[in-house]
Every structure is written in C-alpha cells, then in structure tokens.
A and B are shown apart, each in its own frame.
Chain A
C-alpha cells in the first residue's frame, strides 16, 4: 500500500535504551473527544504499572495505541525498542494483549484457543505443548482443557485469555481491565499470577477502574480525561498527599452529603459505613469544621489511595473550570 511519509525532514524518533515500553506525548481524538491528550509512559522490564482511572478516562484508547490497533494523531510509542505501527510484527511479537471485551473463540475449547493463538505467534510442537501445560497448570485450567471457552465462568475465561496472551512469552503485557466481572477469589488469583510473571522480567500495564487494585502495582498513573494527573508509587502518592481526610459521623447521612456538595473546600465525598468520608483542601479543615452543626462528630483519618485519586480529579476539574463534585 502506498503510504506518504510526511515531515520527512524530521529525524526518526529513537527509543530510550533499556525501556520495555515507552510512550511519548501520545495524542488521539475521536471527533471532538480527546480520548488521549498528551500521554507519556515509561516502563522498565519487570515493572508492573497500574493505569487507574474512571470509565471514559482514555485507558482503553491508551492501551490500543500501544498495540497499534489505533494510530495516534501525534506522538510515538516503542515496544521493546521498536516503534509501534499497525501490523508491525516486530512489536506485536514482543507484546501480549488482553482486551477488555471477550475476544477468544467461544465455540473452541480451552486447548484449541491456546493452540490457535500459539500458532499465530509461530509456536509449534514441543515448545507449544510445554508452555501450554505450564500455563494451564498455573491458571489451574488444566482440568478444563476440553471445555468450550463459552462454557467457562467469568474468572476462568479471563485466566484463559491471560494464558493466550502469555503463550509466546511476551516482553510486554497489556491488560485492559482484566478483573472486570471477576469474582474476588479469581481476582486475587489473577494478581498473584501477574506477580509471578514479573519475576521473569516482563513489563506489565494493567488498566483498571478499581482503586484497591492500584496498591498491588509498583507504580500507578492516575488517568483522567486523557491525561495523567499524577504518577508514582502508590504509597508515595498517599504519603505526599497534602489534603486532609475526615470521617463525619452523623445520624442523617443523606442530608449531610447534600449539604457538603455546596462546600468548595470539600474535594471528595464518599460513604463510609454509616459515616461520610470527605477530603478537605489543605489548610481549610479548621474553617470547614466551624461550618458544620454541633451534632456531627469529626474524626481525622489517614488518607488512602482512593482519597488521593478523587481529590486529584477534583483539582484537575477545578483547574480546567469544568465539572463539579461527582457523587
């Protein structure tokens, strides 16, 4: 196919050495919607990175940009030192990808799905069987080898999809909401599996809307409206959090929550048992205290990752002048 190369004068971008995955200023819009708006990422081999954000933050588009399934409007991405382009076999061979939606063949069995994707990655014979059996072993799917994929439970299906993505021993693994629709036990199993493969030097990106999963990652990026609001180790992000978290004990939670919506210094509100958990802007806690009725008892607590995320989103929305507090 004829492809015109524009900006021929510019030098071809070079990947940074020793990185398993690199994204520089990725941009992609769908119509008016800037799904990814200037996003940069860098992962070393053996690193587990959590891309955390609400639905519509641009996580799936980011991951698809890294696979080459979507072409960027601007910016470049490198996988294993090679530039990502649609259908570029060099990056695809180094890549394992597990889409968010069901993507295996429901009418084929567990074995047949593994066989098929193994073949597409050029595996055969002994190597194929050995890796297949090991993956079936660690995913505890060995007993279900002949079962059709459509007859697997949500958790087992995700484990099979993971096994299909791991069969060719990729250097980079991209997982788009792998625990979506998976029961808590299978969820923990999946995460334990990921940590096993990290030891082998794989770089893994997990996109997830679940804040509690962020703490399982070595590094997280908080994604919102196509941008990274903050990035770092989860514990460090929490430690560096400047705002204050309070628990408000009240008899009438609904009324209190409604009342809090009008407070500018309140960055985040979430229910916490019978109490209400709020994040108050740094330095504004004393003033906030005085505006509350006597009957409400306040308790200062340590912030957690979810507080950090909700406050950062609110900060960003205030800065750009859009949106209000979200329930």
Chain B
C-alpha cells in the first residue's frame, strides 16, 4: 500500500523545540546531560521504554527540571504504543490526580489495558475494583486482580489480598488463603507482606517467627526511632516492622495507668479513600460489633470510593447502636495538652479513640481532606503514642511521637468550616 501522508515531521519539530528548550534549562552535570540527550533521542525515535524513562525523569526531576506536562506527554507516547508500564503510569496519574486532573474512569481504562502484562497495573486495577474507583465496587474482582498480580510477582498485591482475606473485608474470611498470600508476599520481599505474616505468627504464639518477619521488614527500607506519618508505603511498612518489634513486649503486658497503655483492636484492610468508615468499623468491632468498613461506609450518604464527612460517620454510628461522642480541642498548645490528657484517660480506661489527621497528599489540594485512624495506646516515658492505622498493614500498629501527633492531629477542613472548633476532632466512647 502507499504510505500514509507524512504528518509527523512538522508536529515533531514543534514538539522538539519545546522539549529541547526544557532540556536546555536543566542544570544537570554534563554527563547527565549527555545521558539525558541520548535518552531523549531514543524517545524521539519512538522507543517506548525510552519514552517512559523520559516521562519518569520529567516527573521526578531526574537530570532535568520537573515538568508534569512533559512527563505526561512522553508517557502517553509510550502508552499509545501499548507499553504496559507506561499505560500504568498514565493510569496512576489519573487515579492520583498528581500531574493531571483526577479522573478515575480513565485510570480504570488504562489499568484494564495493561493489567494482563503489568503486575503493577493489575494491582492498581484491583485497587479500583476493591475501592470503587472509576467503577462500581466489585471486591471479588478486586481480589481476583490482586491475586493475578501476586502470581505475576507483585508483593504488595499479595499482601493486600492477604489482609482482605484475613479481616474478611469485602470477601468471605479465609485465614488459610490469607496465610498463603502473606507468605507469597513475604517471599517476594514485600515489607507489608512481612508485617502481615509476622502478625499471623504473633497471633499463633510463634514470637520468634514474628520477630524474624518484622525484623526482615524493618531492614528492607530506611527506618528511624519512629516514622513520619506521611511517607511512602514501603517505608511505612518497614517502620511498622521496627515499631512492632518494639511493641512485642508491651502487647503482652497489662497496661500500667499513666505509664503505658495498649488497647488491642481488630484491624481491617482499608479500601481506597475509605479510612473514615474503616477506622469507625474497627472502633465498632472493638466494642463487639460485626460491621465491615464497606458496610459502615454504606450507612453514610457519600458514594463508595469517596471520602466521608465526620458528621456522617457519627450519624452512621448511631444507626448501628453505637454511642460515640465527638470531642474537639483547639489547635494551640493548650488544646493539645487537653487532648492528650483525654487520650491517656481513655486509654488507661481501656478505650481507644478515633482521631482525624491532616492530609498532605496530592489528591486533595486545599486541605479539605484528612486521614482517620485510632489511637490505641501510649508509652509515657518516651512520649510516644500507638496508632491503629487502617492504611498500613495488619495489625495496623505504629508509633508516633507526641510532636508528630501534635502536628498531624488536626482537621484543617473542619477547623475552617467550624471556626476552629473542630481543629483536633476525636470520637470517644460515650460512658453513661
């Protein structure tokens, strides 16, 4: 056949001018510049892996100034050629809304296109189905894709599936399957999988095995005395391993009022954007309820897969016969003193507290979102608090310093809405 009309040269020229101009502004060393130029040339010739590498460089500022538009442009070039990881890159950008406007149906379609060949896309597709992102919720399908991703070697997908089967969140509870998936994740060197496996070992009384799993997790990524509340999930899991090692002893001791408290809570694997309902379901289960995170969410008017207003959470708790009280503290030092005094009182009495943290991710600009979790213990001597966080691996335990708690326990959204009245919100169990 005759060749198609040659339209590309003109378009390429325009584009090249743009990219080279961007390139020239980079302040990288000459070797890096040569490396970048070589990569650019390969990308320009149409090599999808080079196009994706270029997109990553523009996203992260690797040898070139960060440029989200250029990152998306090159990622699209590669994705349009069917490069699975590039499809996932574009899909994830739409899911997070980090470099483009958040658009979950588009994200879903990109993950669907790539899921057969990209373990990461299969994991993300599972996230979409499990968390109702861009589609109706279908937990079974979510698990199916996580298990496919796990079979393709994706440790985090295996760990996510393990946690869902362990807590029975969205699927029938299946401890044996959970164990197998946790072991698979651990064998794949996934920190989250090691945390879950360690918890299963801990619950079974095999402390040495639990310690070994958590030690291994803690060595996979950098850790500190305590972790910062906002850090990449792999780092958070490693830190969780370190925290769990520290907590082994406390978890087996009786609380000592004013010295330390630990209140065991069930852990439910959190679906996408479902921290509020999941934390509240955990809180309700602690009090003997049976409700799941998703079912708690369904008691609230906002759709699945979207954040939940705290007023709606409180209304929902009443619908299941729980008696909770919303308490708040001012954002100043005095308010924090009062708040932590309340925490210790409650924890000494054997009652956890649900709190709301400020959100600092890219998805919701303007601070109108938060992250909901529970405080389930404290270590007075070190001025540390123990969190039960639905966003991290089973059992959700992690330590936080009083300083970080002071910084993060605040709801800018509610604060702004309610003239600072809700600056440090908490749900406490109402005691008659």
Do A and B associate with each other? no
Q: Which residues of A contact B (CB under 8 A)?
A: none
